[in-house]
């Protein structure tokens, strides 16, 4: 199974470039919102004991879809006397990279519908469901093709949802 996952990862990597997604849609690699939230939980656990309401706002930063609300909460956190020095430094470091993980900064970028690693983990689960170590090479590529078609459809839907003024050629590249 591991060899199939390696092949699939290569297929996704080269397929991503072959389809022209990387060049035509100004896409980038982002951080997983779920993992960022887990790190916030870990690094701000002291805040949870001191002021739980503020802690809850902080750990939900990755999923706030409005920039003004995001900035308002960040400023509330930074101006609070409740943050320890170490927590403040950590939060500032995360804030400087907000374009890689905050939903409100990611939603205007084409990301193929991926904001957490759950989409990738879903691929792996589907691979495991349909393939075994004794699967034929023909079946492996059929499953890859089916999964790629699903992902391409998701890319198209996300692209159209963002309402970008794209030429039809860019959309057709995804066919």
Residue 26, pLDDT score: 52
CB of 44 closer than 8 Å to CB of 59 = yes
What are the tens digits of pLDDT across the range 32-46?
788 889 999 999 999
On whether the pTM is more than 0.75, the answer is no
pLDDT of residue 17: 46
pLDDT in tens, 58-92: 999 998 989 999 999 999 999 999 999 999 999 99
Choose from 24-33, 84-93, 127-136 the range with maximum mean pLDDT. Answer: 84-93
pLDDT of residue 116: 55
* Range 148-160 average pLDDT: 73
The Cα–Cα gap between 131 and 117 comes to: 21
Quickly state the pLDDT bin for 171 (edges 50, 70, 90): very low
User: DSSP H helical segments within the chain, as ranges?
Assistant: 2-18, 21-24, 33-43, 45-50, 52-59, 67-79, 85-96, 103-106, 118-130, 137-161, 168-172
- Pair 142, 58: CB distance under 8 Å: no
Please choose, from the candidates 84, 121, 112, 101, the residue with its C-alpha nearest in 3D space to the C-alpha of residue 38: 101
């Amino acid at each position: 199974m591991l060899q199939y996952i390696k092949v699939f990862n290569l297929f996704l990597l080269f397929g991503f470039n072959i389809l022209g997604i990387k060049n035509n849609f100004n896409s980038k690699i982002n951080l997983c919102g779920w993992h960022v939230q887990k790190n916030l939980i870990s690094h701000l656990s002291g805040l949870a004991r001191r002021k739980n309401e503020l802690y809850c706002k902080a750990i939900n930063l990755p999923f706030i879809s409005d920039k003004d609300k995001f900035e308002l909460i960040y400023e509330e956190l930074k101006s609070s006397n409740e943050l320890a020095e170490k927590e403040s430094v950590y939060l500032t470091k995360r804030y400087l990279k907000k374009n890689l993980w905050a939903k409100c900064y990611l939603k205007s970028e084409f990301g193929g519908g991926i904001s957490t690693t759950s989409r990738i983990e879903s691929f792996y689960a589907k691979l495991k469901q349909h393939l075994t170590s004794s699967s034929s090479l023909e079946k492996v590529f059929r499953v890859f093709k089916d999964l790629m078609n699903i992902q391409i459809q998701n890319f198209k839907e996300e692209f159209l949802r963002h309402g970008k003024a794209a030429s039809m050629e860019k959309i057709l590249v995804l066919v």
